[in-house]
Amino acid sequence: MTENIASAIIGAIVGFIASALTLRFSYKQLFAQTVSKNRMDWINNFREELSIVVGTAKYLNYINQQNNYSDIEGNTYQPSEQVLSAEKARIKLLTRLNTNSTKEGNEYHDLFTEMINMLEFKGNDNLSLIKNIEETAKLILEPEWKRVKKEAKGDA
C-alpha cells in the first residue's frame, strides 16, 4: 500500500516536472516565433519604405535629366502625390530607427538618418547619395536578418 502511494507521489512529481518543462519550452518557442515574425515585419516594412523613397528620388532624377515632364500620352507629370508618398515613407523610416546608436547593430542609424534627411525630391543629381543610402540600409538590415535567423533556430 505504501509502495502504491510512493509510486503515485513519484509519478505525480515526474508528471509535474515534465509538464513544467514542456510549458517552459513551448513558451520560449512561442516567444521566439513572435519576436522573429515582428522582426521580419520590421525588415520588410523598412525595405518597402526605402524602395518608395529611393525609387521616387531616382525617378525624379531621371525625369529631370530627360527634361521630359510628360508621359507617353502627353500628360504633364505632376510629382506631388509621388513626393508626398516618398515623404511619408521617409518619416516612417526615420521613426523605425532606434536612436540609441551605442547598441550593437545601431551604429549606422545616425549616418542613415543624416543621409535620408539630405535626400531631396526635386530631381537633382542624388545618385551618389542614393547609392550611399542603399549601402547603409544594407548595413542596418544585415544584423537584423542575422537576429531573425538566430531566433528562428531557437538560439535567442
What confidence score (pLDDT) does residue 135 get? 93
Q: DSSP of 14-51, one letter per residue? A: HHHHHHHHHHHHHHHHHHHHHHHHHHHHHHHHHHHHHH
Burial of 64 (0-12, 13-18, 19+ CB in 10 A): middle
For Cα atoms 50, 55, 59, give the angle at the middle one, nearest 5 degrees: 160
CA 110 vs CA 55, 96, 116, 156: distances in Å = 22, 12, 10, 26
Query: Tell me: the pLDDT tens digits for 25-61?
Result: 666 666 677 777 888 888 888 888 988 888 888 877 7
What confidence score (pLDDT) does residue 50 get? 87
Query: Tell me: the pLDDT tens digits for 72-120?
Result: 565 555 667 888 888 899 888 888 888 776 777 678 888 999 999 898 8
Over 80: is that where the pLDDT of 22 sits?
no
Q: What is the CATH number of the domain that holds 55?
A: 1.20.120
**Domain residue limits at 87:** 2-153
Domain count, the chain: 1
Query: Tell me: the pLDDT tens digits for 115-146?
Result: 998 988 876 778 899 899 999 999 988 888 88
